[in-house]
Chain A
Amino acid sequence: NAGVTQTPKFRILKIGQSMTLQCTQDMNHNYMYWYRQDPGMGLKLIYYSVGAGITDKGEVPNGYNVSRSTTEDFPLRLELAAPSQTSVYFCASSYSTNSPLHFGNGTRLTVT
């Protein structure tokens, strides 16, 4: 039982490049989330999904896109990387809206 798995662990992008951050969970959770964490700040919600085929914007969605074609996978897409997207990205899942989140180990992204 791997929980929530994120790849890659680290990535350096040039401005304007695109990439997809992968997230998969094996707990059969319907709820999945993408957060970013900037230094000295709490985690900010980017996008979330309440089930396969359903996604919605969180607090800071600009510059990102998501899809949820299966229960297990919730990839996050950056189309035109900008320095402001330098951050640590965490994917999480939960059984319900009021149960604890299970987090992956994060992807550290640097855009230069």
Chain B
Amino acid sequence: DQQVKQNSPSLSVQEGRISILNCDYTNSMFDYFLWYKKYPAEGPTFLISISSIKDKNEDGRFTVFLNKSAKHLSLHIVPSQPGDSAVYFCAASDPGNYGQNFVFGPGTRLSVLP
């Protein structure tokens, strides 16, 4: 049973528009959420995170929103650029699961069209 779900395998967006990537989770013990970006033939790189005590975190063009009651988070990229084309993974952390507490979603492939 997937504890972290990304129900859209792919997303295409025009350059300059907003990209919204969604993530749902089932474990109410998760308290720290991260987004990673992955280019082909490279490892995932950390993008942005949010703690469960907040509902929004911004870093430049990237904003993550957390809705704890709905167990849902989203990543907004504004404006989208062709260099943002990559696979985005949502991950969640369970502090009670010492040492092995990152659970990853299956990823969403974002294509930003020029």
Chain A residues at the B interface, C-beta cutoff of 8 Å: 4, 6, 31, 33, 35, 40-45, 48, 50, 56, 58-59, 90, 92, 97-98, 100-106
Interface size on B, residues (CB 8 A): 26
Whether the pair B99, A97 counts as a contact (CB closer than 8 A) is: yes
Does B66 sit at the interface, judged by CB under 8 A? no
CB distance from A34 to the nearest CB of B (A): 11
- Contact indicator A42/B43 (Cβ below 8 Å): no
Given known pairs A90-B43, A100-B46, the reply for A43 and B32 (CB within 8 Å) is no
A42 touching B95 by the CB < 8 A rule?
no
Judge if B34 is at the interface, Cβ distance under 8 Å: yes
* Complex Cα gap A4–B93 (Å): 21
Chain B residue numbers with a CB within 8 Å of A31 are 99
Tell which of B13-21, B56-64, B72-80, B104-112 binds the partner: B104-112
Rounded to whole angstroms, the CA-CA distance of A41 and B105 in the bound complex is 7
